[in-house]
Structure 1
Amino acid sequence: MGIFSHHVQIKDLSLMIDNKELFQNANLCLKSGDILILQGDNGSGKSTVLKSIVGLSELDPSKGNKEIYPFEILLSKKEFIHPHFHYFSSDHGSRHILKGYITLMDHLLYWISLYNVERFISYETLLTYLELVDLQNHSYKVVESLSLGQRKRLFILKYLICLRPLWIMDEVSIGLDRDWISYLERLLIYHRSQGGIVLLATHMNLKIPQSTVLKLS
């Protein structure tokens, strides 16, 4: 049995950009254990659709209702902390999102304090987590010296340490090689097995059985 119990519901939602209708009267209900993949090429509008669903887009849907139970969506355009979900922006992993002048370990210590989970995670546990994403040899390097893929894996590590039921991910696979994309796929499947929900936008064909794929063109 999973550890989460939530749902995301969209009713009669419509969105237009520059007179182009991305979707009309969309209806969707995601329950615990569901994964929705918005798939499309660059410029197809998948990121805008994702942000619109979660309330982070400058463009408001022309009509419709959104409900994410049992919590409210209150997002800002800067890094934010929410008790029920993680949001992975397409520019996460960029040096201007991370504090490039501090070390990878300092980022982890900052996050576990910010998410109020430091009482559950020892220093030894952090080292174990670093091994899971093959960053154990980089723990005291400053973030600006890491590659894009390594910075992306650092953000993935935050998802593992600071548990949230809903994962909202925009182009998380960019900068990851095939092995780490496979790792990401397994991680999403595991999160689903725990009752988590994933909303994901990508240009790739991810191998996640029993997921819902909406293709945008």
Structure 2
Amino acid sequence: MQTQEISLSNLLEIGWAKGMSYQQYRLLVQKLALEKKSTGPIQTESLIDYTMLNDRRMKRWDKVLKLDDETVLKIKKVNQRINWLVLTESWCGDASPALPVMNKISELNPNISFKILLRDENLELMNQFLTNGSMSIPKLISFDATDKDVMGTWGSRSKAATELVEDFKREHGELTAEFKQNLQIWYNKDKGNSILKDLLSLLSLK
């Protein structure tokens, strides 16, 4: 057990050192979209299309995302130094509404630091944080900045979005392209609130 804890601590430390800032990640996705490429070892037309879509979506989320005054005050009260490390890829549709919310929170409080890692370049760390045995992304790991103790995780979707997905899977077996498009419409109507609610709970803020 002790060896596993040291191993995870080391993985988090290595991952944090390699991690990109949100601004660096946005520039990377923007560049890939222009070049008609995606992150990851596999380049397919659909992954490239999703990368281009996500670039546009994140650009819009960065502009329209607003937090109310009460929420801002709650976030500013966090006095523990926390690192948020998220594993994702440029083509991940659920990341496009989530990463801007994470970034907005971290911008409001210097005690919350936020970095991004590419999943397929960090499989050893990803395998420590599987969701029902799957490498689902985005996956946010929240850990103490000093002692590297994991405080919690989030992903790959908000609880509200996960319920929608599970209901659809029960009825239809698998997610369709039409459902994925409808889920993005739902995210837009939700305005990031379900993601924000989950992340505030992760920070022990109600």
TM over 0.5, shorter chain: no
More strand by share: 1
TM-score, normalised to structure 2, is 0.27
| TM-score for the superposition, normalised by structure 1 | 0.26
Higher relative contact order, structure no. (Cα contacts within 8 Å, ≥ 6 residues apart): 1
